[in-house]
Amino acid sequence: MKKLMVAFMLLFALSFAGISITDYTVSKDSFQPNEQGVLTTTIVNPTGSARVTALTMSIDNPYEIIISGSTKLSDIEAGGTGIVSIPIKIRPEAKAGVYLVTVIFSGTSYENGVVPNTVTNSVSIPVTVLNQPILSFATDTSSLSGIDTVHVTITNNGGLAKNARLSTSGTISLYGTNEVFLGNLEGSKNITLQLDSRSATNGPEDLVFVMNYEDELGTKHSNDYTIRMTVKKAIVDVTFLQNSDLITRKEGPVKLAIKNNGAKLLKDVRLTFSNTSLRFKDRAELSFGDIAPGATSEVNPTIFADLTPGLNLIDGTLSWVEEDVTKDEAVDFPLTVSSDADVGIYLEAKPTPLIAGQEHTISVLVSNLGSYPIDNVDVHFSSDSFKSLDISDGQYIGNLNNDDFSTVQFKVRVGDVPEGEYQVNIDVSYRDRSGEWKHKIVPQTVNVYSAPVKSGGEMFILGGIVVVALVAWFFFIRKKPAKVG
């Protein structure tokens, strides 16, 4: 798009006699606030033209860009070329964006050496201002021992990084998830991760964070950040598993399991949690019994979790007996909590009632029934008995806070169907607080009525006339008065 715009401006410039602008350059693809640079333009006086004298340059620049330099230029002979450099500086308070600097050249040529003629040409040069994010990572430990909880500080010393997502590559990976959504990064952000180094070899290893984000102008980036770590694998090697869903603020059974990845028998394995937001019914700890090498033990406690949807690392203590020695270790159990997100659907039609073969507007009200906001709400309307008159059968709502609602409209024509009840389907998709995409199809039953018969009123009037005629004949013609004897 930028190349097309440049080509258009150059062609426009070439259409002027006397001087033409054949090219321009910008010293950098983008500038940060308070940064300096140079704009360069090339001007040409075509062969066969008169000499251009008293050549001057004026500049129309936005407030965000400071221009300096001389406005008087040298004369250009016929067939001559001039290169003009324009120093610029971005103001410290400039916002991200693409700004146009318009350069106007004006001079005088003398046709036949006598008649003065003013020649003018201009070019608009786009200058991109962007404060790129500058990210750095720091961990609270440089040692890993298998599955570890690591506190990470992410510092951004540059511009805003939007919709940031963190993942890993290499032999050290995230545990319990493959990606962490961070949102917008500005300043410093502290996060807690559970890292799995069981596939790494003992000794120095690179922990590679992969950061995907968008800059202030919406351009997507993917960068790697490496931290040198030392892997010292622990003796106990277990995997924590969650084999069923846990919905926030709803009590219910949840299948939790521990797998013994080591080579030794683990006896009397117990797990306790210190997080008060996670409460078990009728028990204080989870007992998994003995777990042989490679085996998995599962329990099914009833849990109430007052936790934020998404991956939660729950502080706990794992205890076991190994070779007649009782051991314990502080652990973080990765517990994925699902949102209680749900939507309600309500329909309204205008005009009412729904008439077969006629056009109507169906209003669909979508209500967020969950405890947390939902986003990217998309609504689709479909039915075998209705034909959509819109360009698309879907409407986008966007974000809905909890207890919030929004309405979208669909223009439809009712099919030529008999009077009765018909099903329409409302298809709603959205993303909940945990980042999980939800999809719900809500069938609704609507009543369709037949169109009124157009000649019904005429038939009614005709019938009335016939009745009146019959009554008149009976009383005035057929029923004559009796004669008096």
Cβ contact 86:39 at 8 Å: yes
pLDDT tens digits, residue range 307-328?
888 888 888 989 888 766 677 7
pLDDT digit string (tens) for 360-407?
999 999 999 888 899 999 999 999 999 999 888 899 999 999 889 999
Q: Tell me the average pLDDT of the chain.
A: 85
Closest Cα partner for 385 from 347, 426, 356?
A: 356
pLDDT band for 11, please (50, 70, 90 cuts): very low
Residues 298 and 300: their CA atoms lie apart, in Å, by 7
Q: How many CB atoms lie within 10 A of CB 410?
A: 24
- Is-contact 164 182, C-beta < 8 A? yes
In angstroms, the CA 337 to CA 155 distance is 28
CB crowding 339-350: b at 16 or more within 10 Å, else e: bbbebebebeee
DSSP 3-state percent helix, strand, coil across the chain (nearest 5): 5, 60, 35
All structural domains of the chain: 2-129 (2.60.40.10), 135-231 (2.60.40.10), 240-338 (2.60.40.10), 343-449 (2.60.40.10)
Residue 294 Ramachandran class (φ > 0 left, ψ -120 to 50 alpha, else beta): left
Q: Name the helix (H) or strand (E) containing 472.
A: helix 456-472
pLDDT at 114 over 90: no
Q: Which residue type sits at 435?
A: G
pTM here is: 0.43
Res. 90: pLDDT tops 90: yes
Per-residue pLDDT at 478 exceeds 80: no
- Residue 351, preceding bond cis, omega within 30 degrees? yes
CA–chain centroid gap for 178, Å, is 18
Q: Is 468 helix (H, G, I), strand (E, B) or coil?
A: helix
Q: Quote the Cα angle for 96-100-104, to 5°.
A: 155
Asked if residues 174 and 195 have their Cβ atoms less than 8 Å apart, the reply is yes
Q: Which helix (H) or strand (E) holds 70?
A: none
Distance CA 39, CA 441 (A): 57
Checking if the pLDDT of 16 tops 60, the result is: no
Q: Is the pLDDT of residue 146 over 80?
A: no
